[in-house]
Chains A and B, each alone.
Chain A
Amino acid sequence: KFSSILLKELRKSKLRRPDIILTNGDKALSYEGSSGEVWSIFEQMFIAAIDSGDSTLAEKCLSKLRNKFPKSARVNRLVGIYYEFTGKYDTAMEIYKNLLIDNPSNLAAMKRKVCIFKATGKIDDEILELNNILKMYPSDFSTWLELGDRYFSRYDLESAAHCYEELVLLDPYTAHTHTKLADTYYTIGGATNILNARKHFIMSLNIQCAKLNTRAFYGLIMTCKAFAGLSSKQKISASTSGDIAQ
């Protein structure tokens, strides 16, 4: 019973702990017997097996799900994930494209396409696909985050900053989003961006105190030090710039 509750809590909190799932999966399955929960556990164990590289267990879980739900889009997505795991990206891509033909707003399938582009190193395609997702789901937090990280990986920092600004708009009460934006401004550099970075490090520290927010704390020190090192002309120019809070 404990294993079943544990796996249920992991599903609810969306924590990815394949070690715990694989240790407790069989016990949870034997407890649940023939109840409806077993299928969620099979799905959970499939993902855990993929994360751990256990192809035998992954195949076993997937075949049970396919037998029970042969026409399910959710199971088809898992089939696509299995093909990705085995390196058959073209086959996986076909599956996701077919899922999107049936339902063009299938966000999970769109995100899997992004995963394929990421795994195969096709950054341009990945960025294009992420932008397509945002046209349909403009307030999807994880897509803005991934797009920002992608732009950051190419050191297209202005575009990354724009994405992180959207994150701050979507979730202004999380310290982490302010810290991420501040770090990006600081990395871009220049007097105005240093002030912007300082503003967001302070916002981050307002939300979460310095004792629990080392990164923002150090970031604030670095921005203050960097600003102090600027010439008077740069400081005045940055301070009187329209979008800076005094």
Chain B
Amino acid sequence: MLDEFGIGKAAVVNVDSKAYMQIYLHAAKYPSTNIVGFLLGQQKPNGEIIVEDILAICHSYPTASLLEIGALTAEKIGNSSSRKVLGVYYANEVLSDYQVPNYVVQIASTVRAYVDFCIVCQIRNDLLSKKDNLFIQIMNSNNMKNKCKIVGGKSLEEINDVLDSLVYKGIQFKFADFEDHMNDNGVSDFRNPTIELD
């Protein structure tokens, strides 16, 4: 039975560890504002969904121009690596706000027009510092969640160790989203090629 975002309540979403870590860095760079980004990946012939990459879009409430250019860029990046825009991730501004905001619902409906479903990945602000749980959850409607698994060969403990060392070195301040790229006139590279996640 399909849900609000078309993903199917039983579907398990696999998230590559590198995509997971990039989402963390985006959230760590902007801890006090909302953030939005696109999820890029593939749906295998057997229906398995894998999120392999992300494109961090902005750290404010997204405007139409930023979303349009961001979406075009995400599509182009995806096409160059045989991936599609599969969904959107977001974090709310207020720690205790677990709602799916209206703008995310609107983005999801646009993504659904192209992919039949949209993965809506919410960052749980309260779980960002916890080590024994994933800090993301896949929403299939405002209150219901899908199962999410991290893939890519690393255990959650290993991923947390890498994230700790990155934050200790201040690498999150080097992470750039598309809004950073627009605001500093193209100096920051939103693909973040210099950030090593091993």
The interface of chain A, by Cβ under 8 A from chain B, is: 118-121, 149, 152-153, 155, 183-184, 186-187, 189, 211-215, 218-219, 222-223
Contact = CB atoms under 8 A, between A and B. Distances in A.
Given A214-B186, A218-B69, A187 B94 contact: no
A152 B182 CA distance: 20
* A contact face: mostly helix, strand, loop, or mixed: helix
Given A121-B94, A121-B96, 14 more contacts: A149-B60, A153-B61, A155-B102, A155-B103, A183-B65, A184-B63, A186-B65, A189-B64, A211-B185, A214-B181, A214-B185, A218-B65, A218-B182, A219-B65
Given A121-B96, A149-B61, A213 B185 contact: yes
B66 interface: yes
Contact of A215 (B68, B93, B97, B182): B182
Contact of B93 (A153, A218, A219): A153
Interface range on chain B (Cβ under 8 Å from partner): 10 to 19
A183 B185 contact: no
A183 B93 CA distance: 21
Contacts of B96: 121
12 contacts: A121-B94, A149-B60, A155-B61, A155-B103, A183-B66, A184-B63, A187-B64, A189-B64, A215-B183, A218-B69, A218-B182, A223-B65
Interface in B69-120: 69, 93-94, 96-97, 102-103
A214 B181 CA distance: 8
Given A214-B186, A215-B183, A218-B182, A119 B94 contact: yes
Given A119-B94, A121-B96, A222 B185 contact: no
Contacts of A152: 61
A222 B68 CA distance: 9
B186 A183 contact: no
B185 A212 contact: yes
Nearest to B97: A121
Contacts of B183: 214-215
A186 B102 CA distance: 18
Nearest to B179: A215
Nearest to A225: B68
B65 A187 contact: yes
Contacts of A223: 65
A183 B94 contact: no
A183 B182 CA distance: 13
A98 B62 CA distance: 38
* Among all A-B residue pairs, the 7 with the closest Cβ atoms: A187-B64, A183-B63, A215-B182, A121-B94, A214-B185, A222-B65, A187-B63
Nearest to A189: B64
A212 B186 CA distance: 9
Contacts of A187: 63-65
A186 B183 CA distance: 18
Contacts of B102: 155
Nearest to A123: B94
A149 B65 CA distance: 16
A110 B69 CA distance: 38
A211 B64 CA distance: 22
B63 to A, nearest CB: 4
Contacts of B186: 214
A119 B93 CA distance: 9
Given A121-B94, A121-B96, A186 B64 contact: yes
A212 B103 CA distance: 29
A214 B182 contact: yes
A94 B69 CA distance: 46
A119 B103 CA distance: 21
Contacts of B61: 149, 152-153, 155
